[in-house]
Chains A and B, each alone.
Chain A
Amino acid sequence: MYRYDEFDHTFVRERVAQFRDQTLRRISGELTEDEFRPLRLMNGLYLQLHAYMLRIAIPYGTLSSKQMRQLAFIGDKWDKNYGHFTTRQNLQFNWPKLEDTADILQALADVEMHAIQTSGNCIRNVTADHWAGVAADEIEDPRPWAELLRQWSSLHPEFCFLPRKFKIAVTGAEADRAAVAFHDIGLKIVRNADGEAGFQVLVGGGMGRTPMIAKVCRAWLPKGELLSYIEAVMRVYNLYGRRDNKYKARIKILLHEEGDDVFRKMVDEEYEKVKAAGGVSHLVPEKEIARIETYFAPPIYDALPDEDAQLTQHLRANSKMARWYEVNCAKHKQRGYTIVNISLKPEGGIPGDATSDQMRAVAGIADKFSLSEIRVSHAQNLVLPYVRKKDVVAVYHALEKYGMASANLGLVTDIIACPGLDYCALATARSIPIAQAISKRFEAPERQKQIGDLAIKISGCINACGHHHAGHIGILGLDKAGKEFYQITLGGSADEHASIGTIMGPGFSDAEVPTAIEKIVDTYIGLRQPGETFLGAYRRLGAAPFKEAIYAQAAE
C-alpha cells in the first residue's frame, strides 16, 4: 500500500490545523456561514438533514486494517458507532459535530487519510477496480497510476475551481468493475497491437440528470503520457466548460455540445501545446512511477496448490458456506488464493452501512488472513484481496459472527442505494427503505440463485449517487405533490458494455415498488433462454413485455 511521504504528511497536517482555526473562527462568529461553507466543504463536511456529515476519501478504494480500525474508532468516539460506504469508495459519518471535526480530521491524518476534495468543483477521490492487483483478468494493476493521479490532482492550483466536480475512475482489467464509462474521465489499461500496455482514455461519461456514456478520446495512450494528456483534457474543460448553468457544466455536456470529433481535436491541439511547453518533459518521470509502483508490488505469495482439499471437504459438508464461497469469492491471479467479497447487504439491511464493531472485525480478519489490506467497492461492499483458500473457512466463520456472510454478491439483494431522504438534504425520496423492502421480498437464497446476476440500483434524487441509470433495474425516488414516488428504468449497465436504463413509464408508490420489481423478475424468468442473464434477456426482448407486466399489475 502507498505510504505518505513527508510532503503528504505535512500537507495533511497543515490542512487540519487550518481547519481547526477556521472552525474556531466560525464558532466565535469571526467567519459567517457564507464564508465558512466553502471551507468546510473543501474538507468534506456537509450539513445534511439531521446533522453534519463528513465524507472521507478512500483513495482508489484501498484501506489498511489500521485505517479501518481508525474509522471504527472515529465512529465510536465522535459519531454513532457506524459509517456508510458510498458508491464513490468513500466513507460517510452521519453525525459528527462541527466542534469535533478538526479532531476527527487529525485522527484521520494520523493514519494517512483525509476528507479533502470529497466535495466541491475539483477533481474528486480517484476510484478504481476494487480487485485491482489481484483479479485474474487484469492486464496490469492500475493503482500506481491512480496514486499518481491522486498526488497530481490534490490541490492542483489550476484545477481547484473547475466548472463542476470532476470524477476519474481507473481499471486495469478486461471486465469493467469500476464503471469507467460513467466517469468524467475513465481510464482503462489496454494493450496495443504490439502488446504494449497503455491507457484507453474515455471522456464525458456521467450520471445525474443527463446520463451519458463516455466516448473514447484516445484509444491507446503511452502510460508515461498520462498526466500531460489528462492535463490537456482538463484545460479544455476548464476553459470551455459552461460556468453559466450548473446543470450544463459537466464535461459530458461540453463534449456533447461540441461533438466527439471537435472535442478530440481541441484536446489534441491543447496536448500539442502541453508537449511544446518549454523546459519540462511531458512524460511522467520513470523514477517516480517506479517509486510509486514499489508500494503496489505484489506480496510474496505462498506457493500453494490451486485447490485446497480441506476447503473442498468443508464446502461439501456445509451447503450454506459452499453457496457463499460460490457467490462471494472470485478468481485470484495467484494459485491457491481467492478474493473474498464481503457483502454489506444483509437481507433487509441498509446497503453500505457497517458498524464500528464490524469495521474492527474486518480489520482483524484482514490482519490474520489478507495481509492487512481491505478494499471498498463502488457497489458498497468490502473486499479481502489476499485470502489463501486454506483460510476461507476461518474467514467465513469470522464474517458470519458479525453478520457479514450474506451470499449475495451481484444478486438481486446486493442492491446499491444512496442515503436518500433518510439522511440527504438534496433528496426527493427515500431510497434505503425501498432497498430493504426489495431485499426482504427476494431474501430466499434459492430464489436469488434462480434469478442470477441482477443489479438493482436506487437513487433518492436525480443526482443519481445510487447509479440508478446503470442498474439492470434502476429506481429513482422523486417527489410528487409532497409524496414519494419511484420511477423504474431497465437495461442500464455499468460494465464494459455500458448502457443507460430506459424509463418504463409512470412511477409507483413506495408500497408498490417491490411488487413491480417482482413482476419484472418473473417476466424475465418466464421469457429467458437457457443461461441468459436478466440484462441479456432485456436486451433481446426490449421493454415491451416488462412494461406490460408492471402496468397491467398497476391497473389491476
Chain B
Amino acid sequence: MAVKKDVRQVLTANLLKDGLVVFMTDGAAWSPWIEDAAIATSKESALELEGRGNIAAKANVVVGPYLIDVIEENGRPRANLIREHLRTLGPTVRTDLGKQAERAAGGSGQGGAFI
C-alpha cells in the first residue's frame, strides 16, 4: 500500500501594491523567495499559516493568500506544480525578468524578507 506523503505546504500571495509574488516566512513576514518560506508539515500548521495569511490580506498587505504543495530539496521548499514553480521564477521566455533575474543577480538568500 502506498504510504501517504507528509504534508509539505507553504503560503503564497501577491503583494497588494505591486502584485509581486511573495511567501510567508517563519517570522510571519513576506519574502519574495520561496526558499525563505515557512513549511507547514501538518494540517494544523498549514491552517495556522493560512490564518496568518488571511490576517495579512485583511490588513491590505497581500491579495489572495493560498497554500501550495512543495517538495523539499536540500531542506529548501520547491513548488510542486509547474504553475507555482513558474511563480517563483518569472516568465520562462524572459529570463531577464522576474525573480529568476533577481536571483541570478544575487537577490535570493540574502535575508530577502521585506514586509
State the A residues within 8 Å of B (CB). 26-29, 33, 47-52, 80, 94-95, 97-99, 350, 421-423, 427, 430, 432-433, 436, 479, 482-484
Binds A, one of B42-50, B58-66, B105-113: B58-66
Contact among A28, A52, A421 for B18, CB-based, below 8 A: A52
What string of 1s and 0s marks CB contacts (under 8 Å) between B6-35 and chain A? 000000001011111100000000000000
B57 CB–A CB distance under 8 Å? yes
Total cross-chain contacts (CB, 8 A):
71
Q: Which residues of B60-96 have CB atoms within 8 Å of chain A's CB atoms?
A: 60, 63-64, 80-83, 86-87, 90-94
Interchain CB contact under 8 A, A483 and B82: yes
CB distance from B94 to the nearest CB of A (A): 8
| Structural contact, A33 and B64, CB atoms closer than 8 A | yes
Can you report 12 A-B residue pairs in the complex whose CB atoms are below 8 A from each other? Answer: A33-B63, A33-B64, A47-B14, A51-B20, A97-B18, A421-B82, A421-B86, A422-B93, A422-B94, A482-B80, A483-B82, A484-B82
With both beta carbons as reference points, the residue of chain B lying nearest to A430 in the complex is identified as: B92
Can you name the residue of chain B whose Cβ is closest to the Cβ of A81? B97
A422 in contact with B82 (CB, 8 Å):
no
Q: Please give me the residue from chain B that is nearest to A49 by CB atom.
A: B87
Please tell me if the beta carbons of A50 and B82 are within 8 angstroms of each other in the complex.
Answer: no
On chain B, the residues within 8 Å of A28 by CB distance are 60
Nearest-Cβ distance from residue B43 to partner chain A, whole angstroms: 21
Size of the B side of the interface (Cβ < 8 Å), in residues, is 25
Chain B residue with Cβ nearest A349: B93
Cα of A430 to Cα of B60 in the assembled complex, Å: 31
User: Chain B CB within 10 Å — which of A33, A99, A432 has the most?
Assistant: A33
> Given A50-B98, A52-B19, 4 more contacts at CB 8 Å?
A27-B16, A47-B63, A94-B91, A421-B83
Chain B CB count within 10 A is highest, among A51, A52, A433, for A51
Cα of A50 to Cα of B85 in the assembled complex, Å: 11
Partner of A49, one of B57, B63, B86: B86
Q: How far is the CA of A483 from the CA of B86 in the complex (A)?
A: 13
B17 partner residues in chain A, CB cutoff 8 A: 27, 97-99
Give chain A residues whose Cβ lies under 8 Å from the Cβ of B92: 422, 430, 433
| Nearest-Cβ distance from residue A38 to partner chain B, whole angstroms | 14
Residue of B nearest to A99 (CB): B17
Q: A99 and B60: CB pair below 8 A?
A: no
Task: Report chain A residues within 8 Å CB of B57.
Answer: 33
Known A-B contacts A27-B16, A98-B19, A422-B93; A47 and B64 likewise in contact (beta carbons under 8 Å)? yes
Complex contact B93–A99 (CB within 8 A): no
Instruction: Assess the B93–A432 pair: CB atoms within 8 A.
Output: yes
A479 to B83, CA, bound (A): 10
Query: In the assembled complex, how far is the CB of residue A438 from the closest CB belonging to chain B, in whole angstroms?
Result: 14
Tell whether A50 pairs with B64 under 8 Å between CB atoms, given A97-B19, A482-B80: no
* A80 partner, pick from B21, B59, B60, B97, beta carbons under 8 A: B97
CA distance A15 to B54 in the complex (A): 31
A346, chain B: closest CB distance, angstroms: 13
A29/B59 contact (C-beta < 8 A), A47-B19, A47-B64, A99-B18 known: yes
Complex Cα distance, B98 from A72, in Å, reads: 20
Measured between beta carbons, the chain A residues less than 8 angstroms from B64 are 33, 47
Q: What A residues does B90 contact at CB under 8 A?
A: 50
